[in-house]
């Protein structure tokens, strides 16, 4: 796989792949302040639930490293404030607050400011390293669901650049390409920000995966008239009963898959589960600015004064999901009642 990493720790700064510019150019940004990190997450220069969590973790570690003084209580106050600030960038992907909480837990018993600073950096790096291994395992479990020459549909970009590496929903396709296991992918363009058209096609072509781009409105006709053996998508937050928030358009894809008797899978790490929420009704859905729908690139495609509704995510009810693919294995649709146990026991 020759795909650049989306987020990297550089000691006194954070290097990110600027996902806004792909596929027209592959450029990197150096984030030197926590404000840079907040903006990069908010404007989707770095995006994708796991990548957002990793960027926030590095951002908090960076904020910690810039703290001046030796008073431990003042440091904890500083970190709590910076954590709340970073958490305000985007509300839906639970990986963001999960990562921030994990770092704060790691400094609870620090004996000094220096020890706490070191713990923040080490834990943020650990989250990134773990995520790459987690995504590899998700990819292997997902690949076991497919047969050679299958045709699989996906939406948005749950790819390598949405994570530390490999991706979640796209991981099986990257791994398949490495072992000469032919799979075809239908990538939905994913209006309004076109993560599918811009990012998923770009990633899969880099890996030599056979990918066909369709508009979101073509999904039903494609399922009806073409070979579509499965649908696989990422996730931003999964509630205790298996309801899943993912990019807007995912819920519609799940309904279409059910109508056409096509299995519908969610691929996500355990860090994307939020079992404090009973069901998907409780998942916060980000609404984004109107211009994202009124314009495509720099071109207005609707009158400027047109009213707009721009939810960035929707929630797919568990009953439409055939299975949730995690790093520990596949939670089949009949096992969703066991999801809370995953966070008390070690394996499926
Ligand atoms: C691997 S999780 C990727 C997940 O995040 C995307 O949202 P966004 O592009 O707004 O960050 C989308 O929901 C993907 O499935």
Among the candidates 106, 135, 164, a domain finishes at 135
The pairing of beta strand 244-247 with beta strand 313-316: antiparallel
Expressed in angstroms and rounded, the spacing between residue 92 Cα and the centre of ligand 1 is 10
Residues 242 and 165 in one domain: yes
Q: What is the mean pLDDT of residues 14-19?
A: 98
Residue 296 reports pLDDT greater than 70: yes
| Catalytic residue flag (residue 236) | yes
Q: Does any domain span residue 192?
A: yes
Among the candidates 135, 170, 186, a domain finishes at 135
> Which strands sit side by side in the sheet containing 273-274, from one edge to the other?
273-274, 237-239, 244-247, 313-316
Residues 91 and 165 in one domain: no
Residues 225 and 334 in one domain: yes
Q: What tens digit of pLDDT does each residue of 133-162 get?
A: 999 999 999 999 999 999 999 999 999 999
Q: Does any domain span residue 2?
A: no
Residues 302 and 181 in one domain: yes
- Residue of the nearest CA to atom 6 in ligand 1? 48
Q: Does any domain span residue 121?
A: yes
Residues 123 and 195 in one domain: no
- Look over the chain and give the mean of its residue pLDDT values, rounded to a whole number: 97
Q: What tens digit of pLDDT does each residue of 164-202 get?
A: 999 999 999 999 999 999 999 999 999 999 999 999 999
Report residues whose beta carbon is within 6 angstroms of any ligand 1 atom: 47-50, 156, 158, 162-163, 168, 195, 233-234, 236, 246-247, 312
CATH of the domain at 35: 1.20.120.420
Q: Does any domain span residue 1?
A: no
- Residue of the nearest CA to atom 4 in ligand 1? 48
Annotated binding site: 47-49, 90, 195, 246-247
Residues 123 and 220 in one domain: no
Q: Does any domain span residue 140?
A: no
Residues 113 and 206 in one domain: no
Please name the helix (run of DSSP H) or strand (run of DSSP E) that holds residue 123, with its range, or none: helix 113-143
Number of domains in the chain: 2
pLDDT at residue 89, rounded to an integer: 98
In whole angstroms, what is the distance from residue 63 CA to residue 82 CA?
Answer: 7
Q: Does any domain span residue 253?
A: yes
Residues 318 and 295 in one domain: yes
Among the candidates 135, 155, 173, a domain finishes at 135
Asked whether the whole model's pTM tops 0.90, one would answer yes
Residues 115 and 151 in one domain: no
Residues 275 and 152 in one domain: yes
Annotated binding site for substrate: 47-49, 90, 195, 246-247
Residues 127 and 161 in one domain: no
- Residue of the nearest CA to atom 5 in ligand 1? 48
Expressed in angstroms and rounded, the spacing between residue 71 Cα and the centre of ligand 1 is 39
Expressed in angstroms and rounded, the spacing between residue 248 Cα and the centre of ligand 1 is 10
pLDDT at residue 17, rounded to an integer: 98
Q: What tens digit of pLDDT does each residue of 47-84 get?
A: 999 999 999 999 999 999 999 999 999 999 999 999 99
Residues 243 and 338 in one domain: yes
Residue entry with tokens 């989250």: 127
In whole angstroms, what is the distance from residue 196 CA to residue 73 CA?
Answer: 45
Structural domain containing residue 19: 7-135
Among residues 267, 247, 281, 278, the alpha carbon closest in space to that of 322 is found at: 267
Which of 236, 270, 314 best tests ligand 1's pocket when mutated (most atoms within 8 Å of CB)? 236
Q: Does any domain span residue 249?
A: yes
Instruction: Decide if 284 contacts 226 (C-beta within 8 A).
Output: no
Q: Which of 236, 243, 274, 314 is catalytic?
A: 236
CATH of the domain at 217: 3.40.50.10470
Residue 346 reports pLDDT greater than 60: no
pLDDT at residue 1, rounded to an integer: 80
Confidence category of residue 247, pLDDT binned at 50, 70, 90 = very high
Share of the chain above pLDDT 70, in %: 99
């Amino acid at each position: 796989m020759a795909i650049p990493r989306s987020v990297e720790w550089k000691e006194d700064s954070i290097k990110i792949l600027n996902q806004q510019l792909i596929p027209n150019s592959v450029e990197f940004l150096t984030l030197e302040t926590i404000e840079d990190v907040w903006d990069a997450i908010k404007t989707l220069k770095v995006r994708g639930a796991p990548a957002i969590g990793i960027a926030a973790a590095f951002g908090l570690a960076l904020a910690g490293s810039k703290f001046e003084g030796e008073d431990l209580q003042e440091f904890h106050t500083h970190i709590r404030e910076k954590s709340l600030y970073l958490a305000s960038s985007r509300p839906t992907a639970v990986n963001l607050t999960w990562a921030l909480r994990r770092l704060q837990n790691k400094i609870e018993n620090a004996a000094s400011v220096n020890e706490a600073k070191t713990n923040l950096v080490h834990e943020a790096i650990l989250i990134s390293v773990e995520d790459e291994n987690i995504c590899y395992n998700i990819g292997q479990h997902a690949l076991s669901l497919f047969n050679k020459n299958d045709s699989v549909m996906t939406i948005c970009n749950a790819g390598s650049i949405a994570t530390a590496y490999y991706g979640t929903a796209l991981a099986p396709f990257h791994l398949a390409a490495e072992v000469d296991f032919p799979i075809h992918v239908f990538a939905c363009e994913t209006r309004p920000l076109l993560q599918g058209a811009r990012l998923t096609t770009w990633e899969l072509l880099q890996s030599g995966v056979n990918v066909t781009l369709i508009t979101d409105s073509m999904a039903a006709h494609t399922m009806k008239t073409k070979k579509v053996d499965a649908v696989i998508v990422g996730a931003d937050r999964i509630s205790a009963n298996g309801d899943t928030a993912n990019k807007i358009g995912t819920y519609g894809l799940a309904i279409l898959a059910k109508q056409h008797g096509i299995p519908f899978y969610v691929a996500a790490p355990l860090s994307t589960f939020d079992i404090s929420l009973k069901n998907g009704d409780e998942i916060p859905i980000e609404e984004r600015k109107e211009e994202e729908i009124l314009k495509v690139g720099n071109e207005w495609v609707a009158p400027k004064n047109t009213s707009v509704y721009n939810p960035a995510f929707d929630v797919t009810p568990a009953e439409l999901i055939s299975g949730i693919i995690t790093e520990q294995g596949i939670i089949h649709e009949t096992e969703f009642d066991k999801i809370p146990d995953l966070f008390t026991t070690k394996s499926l």
